[in-house]
Amino acid sequence: MATEAEKIFEKCGAILKGHFLLTSGLHSPIYWEKFQVLQFPHYTQKLCQMISNHFKNQGVEVVAGPTTGGIILAFEVARELGVRSIFAERTSEKERDFTRSFTLKPGERVLVVDDVLTTGKSINEVMAALKKKGATIIGIGVLVDRSEEEMGFGVPLFSCHRSVTKTYSSSDCPLCAEKMPLVKPGSSPQSEV
């Protein structure tokens, strides 16, 4: 039985099937194109409301997300909770930081949000930036958790939808072995790699 979140992704045509190169460098037969959903404010609001409802009694003071999809989600979840939102931008290949004069008080209670969880890289980068600022991370909310194994972030994780989707390294990918064209979706036009 499909969850409400999965139904939203399906309505928007956001669950793509093929052979995809993910941001993590892994290959996957499924790609969750969150921007097909995030272009619709009413769907975005429904999903963010699921996250905000889950954390509404946790004393959230700030909602933080990574660029780019995380900006939209942080804003909407923060709006739902009546708090402020901030976002962490990439400052190097392995780090993010809160630029644009964003400030955090030591101990300020922060909820981290992101769109699709696969390896946890973006979330870990945001958490590292928050810890440098002395913030207290109270939880993580994502639209889709497609990770193959539990991430162990050390704080509660809530996902609007859980969909374990197998990923492969390029050397072990059965789709590569079948010579299926590899597509790199995302911020640039979809193209074969």
pLDDT in tens, 72-110: 999 999 999 999 999 999 999 889 999 999 999 999 999
d(CA 169, CA 188): 22
Which domain CATH number covers 123? 3.40.50.2020
Domains of the chain: total: 1
At residue 149 the predicted structure's pLDDT band, cuts being 50, 70 and 90, is confident
At residue 187 the predicted structure's pLDDT band, cuts being 50, 70 and 90, is low
pLDDT one-digit tens code per residue, 20-52: 999 888 999 999 999 999 999 999 999 999 999
CA-based nearest residue to 59, from 98, 117, 108, 123: 108
Sheet holding 191-192, edge to edge: 27-32, 15-21, 183-184, 191-192
At residue 1 the predicted structure's pLDDT band, cuts being 50, 70 and 90, is low
At residue 60 the predicted structure's pLDDT band, cuts being 50, 70 and 90, is very high
pTM for the whole thing?
A: 0.91
Tell me, what's the pLDDT at 93? 85
Query: Which domain, by its residues, includes 130?
Result: 4-192
Asked whether the CA dihedral 147, 45, 38, 77 is positive or negative, the reply is: negative
